[in-house]
Chains A and B, each alone.
Chain A
């Protein structure tokens, strides 16, 4: 693994700066940062002290624990600087909660002492869960899965960082940036839905819902994917089901439904790459889902396929990545105001992500079987509703993230059941 020199500055990627700008959005809403989580549920009891010793003996974790955020004198460009490694404690809890509130509300802000934490939950019947929480700026979901595979089971991974070419302002880059900005403006034109807040409270409290499918149910969903015409992969069908469920929820609450606008992240690492671990390596595709087309899954899927193809043909994911590299020199507050522009208060109608499959290497921790795994992205508020999909041992998992200000506990249950039925067709 390539280690950073003590004095070396590792400049943030364009996607990192986008995540950094979102920190401001979270602060305005009073939520606890850009926090992601990976939950590994085990069949046997985990020994927190053994895990603590194991992870702290790993150079990759030591190195990551030493990073703090700095800013250059010119342009204030953000970068990671390496200091002294910190010992990462593993906290222990006796709880049958999926994620106890004390962990869910923990603030892993960039100004805080730690950008990631580990917790072991001891549950009844000798079961446990290991919860890895981290600030999205330091790792994306694939980076986190790679890191866990490395530090928990010694899986060989790639470099911590890559030697990125210095991003320069070029005319070509500016033209790409202009084209993609024009495209996003058009795609995100009003009217759009995106504000579901019930209370307008300054403090918002998170809640999560999990939906799991067994082998035969996953097979049925895969057949629905094909029958819907989602020919390039499952994402068009899954996105359609989420939008349909959102529409149903809004109609139940007698909220006006217009169009949904959803940016969907796309991983820029090469397939099968084991690194880099540090930072975010993402670009986005943007979908405008017309409320009028959502009545039919086939019609909506065809529309998403078409939008996907058109954006790829025009190289929009490449252009957006180029834009992110350019705008990282823009002052953060200005950058943030640009991100918010499409919808005013909310950055999108909801958030959607299809994460990589849970790595096969992580099916055991210290000889104990992992019986379930969940990867939670951060939930940006507003809009405050995120849908994340992944597979564990080939079986589909859906994670719904929200806030009590958006969905009540009862509404979350209805949402989970509704989405489950909709996916199963």
Chain B
């Protein structure tokens, strides 16, 4: 298997959000604030747990900060630190 890139993580997150979290009428952009998509605490945690399941990357508590949980791209960048 090739090396996982930040862009691939971002694309997987976007697909997960489109398929499972937001209504299909909602357009999802990787730089858009998750809050603008209507994300609440349950949806944020769902995303963190998706990264754990999909990439085996358990993000450390110290990195679960608003700057990293801001958008798909910021979360993907943060997740990369934990992906081998």
* Known contacts A231-B69, A270-B22, A272-B22; A317 and B42 CB within 8 A of each other: yes
* CB atoms of B38 and A272 under 8 A apart: yes
Binary contact track A228-244/B, C-beta < 8 Å → 1, others 0: 00011101100000000
**Cβ of A168 < 8 Å from any Cβ of B?**
no
* Known contacts A231-B69, A271-B26, A312-B49; A285 and B42 CB within 8 A of each other: yes
Closest-by-CB residue of A relative to B45 is: A312
Chosen A-B contacts, 8 in total, with CB atoms closer than 8 Å, are A231-B64, A232-B45, A266-B42, A270-B24, A271-B37, A273-B25, A309-B45, A313-B49
User: A72 CA to B22 CA in the complex, in Å?
Assistant: 34
Q: Which residues of A contact B22 (CB under 8 A)?
A: 270-272
Give min CB distance, B58 to chain A, whole Å: 11
User: A356 CA to B35 CA in the complex, in Å?
Assistant: 12
* Nearest 7 Cβ contacts at the A-B interface: A271-B38, A232-B41, A233-B41, A272-B26, A273-B23, A270-B23, A312-B45
Q: Which residues of A contact B69 (CB under 8 A)?
A: 231-232
**Cβ of A308 < 8 Å from any Cβ of B?**
yes
The tally of CB-CB contacts under 8 A between chains A and B is 57
**Cβ of A328 < 8 Å from any Cβ of B?**
no
**Cβ of A325 < 8 Å from any Cβ of B?**
no
* CB atoms of A354 and B40 under 8 A apart: yes
Q: Which residues of A contact B42 (CB under 8 A)?
A: 266, 285, 308, 312, 317
Closest-by-CB residue of B relative to A315 is: B49
Q: Chain A's interface: helix, strand, loop or mixed, by majority?
A: mixed
* Known contacts A235-B41, A266-B42, A271-B37; A226 and B23 CB within 8 A of each other: no
Q: Which residues of B contact A232 (CB under 8 A)?
A: 41, 44-45, 64, 69
**Cβ of A150 < 8 Å from any Cβ of B?**
no
Give min CB distance, B55 to chain A, whole Å: 16
Q: Which B residues from 25 to 39 make CB contacts under 8 A with A? A: 25-26, 37-39
User: A231 CA to B66 CA in the complex, in Å?
Assistant: 6
User: A232 CA to B68 CA in the complex, in Å?
Assistant: 11
Closest-by-CB residue of B relative to A309 is: B45
Q: Which residues of A contact B39 (CB under 8 A)?
A: 233, 271
Q: Which residues of A contact B26 (CB under 8 A)?
A: 270-272
User: A312 CA to B42 CA in the complex, in Å?
Assistant: 8
**Cβ of B1 < 8 Å from any Cβ of A?**
no
Give min CB distance, A356 to chain B, whole Å: 8
**Cβ of B43 < 8 Å from any Cβ of A?**
yes
Q: Which residues of B contact A272 (CB under 8 A)?
A: 22-23, 25-26, 37-38
Q: Which residues of B contact A270 (CB under 8 A)?
A: 21-24, 26
Give min CB distance, A337 to chain B, whole Å: 29
Give min CB distance, A267 to chain B, whole Å: 8
Q: Which residues of B contact A273 (CB under 8 A)?
A: 23, 25
Q: Which of B37, B41, B65, B66 contacts A308 (CB 8 A)?
A: B41
* CB atoms of B66 and A274 under 8 A apart: no
**Cβ of B46 < 8 Å from any Cβ of A?**
yes
* CB atoms of B65 and A231 under 8 A apart: yes
User: A185 CA to B66 CA in the complex, in Å?
Assistant: 34
Give min CB distance, B19 to chain A, whole Å: 10
User: A272 CA to B35 CA in the complex, in Å?
Assistant: 11
Give min CB distance, A422 to chain B, whole Å: 20
Q: Which residues of A contact B66 (CB under 8 A)?
A: 226, 231
Closest-by-CB residue of A relative to B64 is: A231
Binary contact track B1-33/A, C-beta < 8 Å → 1, others 0: 000000000000000000001111110000000
Closest-by-CB residue of B relative to A234 is: B41
Give min CB distance, B60 to chain A, whole Å: 12
* CB atoms of B21 and A271 under 8 A apart: yes
User: A324 CA to B15 CA in the complex, in Å?
Assistant: 29
User: A317 CA to B26 CA in the complex, in Å?
Assistant: 24
Binary contact track A281-313/B, C-beta < 8 Å → 1, others 0: 000010000000000000000000000110011
